[in-house]
Amino acid sequence: MTYTFWILLTASLVGISCGIVGVLLILRKMAMLSDAISHTVLLGIISSYLITNSLDGFYMFIGAAIVGVLTTVFVQLLNSAGVQSDAAIGVVFTFLFAIGVILVSMFARDVHIDVEHSIMGEIAFIPWMTVDWFGIEGIPQAVWMLGFVLIIDLFLILLLYKEFKLSSFDPGLAAALGLPVGLLHYVLMGMTSITAVASFDAVGAILVVAMLIAPGATAYLLTERLHMMFILSAVFGVIAAVTGYFIAAWLNASIAGMMATMAGVLFLLAFIFSPTHGIIAKRFSQRKIQQVDIET
């Protein structure tokens, strides 16, 4: 397997898993909460390293999932105590992230998780960091982790498809029907956390938000069916990741930065040219209405 193959596979796995989880985040208007989680999982990673003294991906997952869910719990606690929700998110995530940064700088300076790496990611190193799991040699750890996360995300979305759909569209009816609305919320937060931590190595804490939100937001502008939104979002995630890599390699620029930029470019294109939601289509239909007004 070549170096480029592993990079593209990693990037595509990031695109797909972030893309499908992002659909639910957008429909539930929780984009900012995912921003918070993508940062606070740093605390989960460093905590699991300090407790287990290993950089094993499995412990990182557990740590990240716990801290990610804790983030939403704290936000909700503050919120129900009367703090505005955006202020609650801002306070909780910067506080937990800051603790993570302090712990990294104090105890983990010389290991692989340095602050800059966590924030910016470095996909270019991924093909060399292979592990031998299940007797299979030579597969990068990031690919293993992203593969597992993608399977978990897909499994949960398929299993809970109609539950996620109703609780996103109409939480009131979902609760009245007795669906486990609170549990679904925390399942999604857990999915967001493990997806963020698995994508960390590739794109870093800041840009993973772009991969979580931009492809879903693009798909939202282009389809009127939920299942299609999942598919399109995953496709746009892959396109952003792959084109981003090649353009970055060509310009010798930041790979993660270029992937996020491409995600933004795709969104911009949809925003302008979407046949239903695009600004050109809207202008056109407005002019049509005005013309009808003049004629009648």
Given the complex with another protein, which of 85 and 223 has the nearer CB atom?
A: 223
For residue 152, what are its two tokens?
């978990």
Given the complex with another protein, which of 109 and 162 has the nearer CB atom?
A: 162
Which of helix, strand or coil describes residue 136? strand
Give the helix/strand (H/E) hosting 254: none
- Classify residue 29 by its DSSP letter: T
Given the complex with another protein, which of 159 and 289 has the nearer CB atom?
A: 159
Angle at 75 between CA 161 and CA 175, to 5 degrees: 40
Q: b/e map of 221-249 (b: 16 or more CB within 10 Å)? A: bbbeebeebbebbbbbbbbbbbbbbbbbe
Given the complex with another protein, which of 9 and 25 has the nearer CB atom?
A: 25
For residue 245, what are its two tokens?
């890599």
Determine what percent of the chain falls in helix, strand and coil, rounding each to the nearest 5: 80, 5, 15
What is the distance, to the nearest Å, from the Cα of residue 23 to the centroid of all Cα atoms in its chain? Answer: 10
Given the complex with another protein, which of 108 and 226 has the nearer CB atom?
A: 226
**Minimum CB distance to another protein, residue 93 (Å):** 25
Angle at 187 between CA 186 and CA 190, to 5 degrees: 85
Given the complex with another protein, which of 28 and 39 has the nearer CB atom?
A: 28
Rg for the chain (alpha carbons), in Å? 20
**Minimum CB distance to another protein, residue 8 (Å):** 29
Q: Where along the sequence are the contacts to another protein (CB under 8 A)?
A: 27, 82, 159-163, 165-166, 168-170, 172-173, 175-179, 220, 223-226, 228-229
**Minimum CB distance to another protein, residue 79 (Å):** 12
**Up-side HSE of residue 215: CA atoms within 13 Å toward CB?**
33
Given the complex with another protein, which of 73 and 177 has the nearer CB atom?
A: 177
Residue pair 272/278 in contact (Cβ under 8 Å)? The answer is yes
Query: In 3D, which of 93, 63, 89 has the Cα closest to residue 76?
Result: 89
Tally Cβ neighbours within 10 Å of residue 9: 20
**Minimum CB distance to another protein, residue 207 (Å):** 26
**Minimum CB distance to another protein, residue 163 (Å):** 7
**Minimum CB distance to another protein, residue 68 (Å):** 24
**Minimum CB distance to another protein, residue 219 (Å):** 9
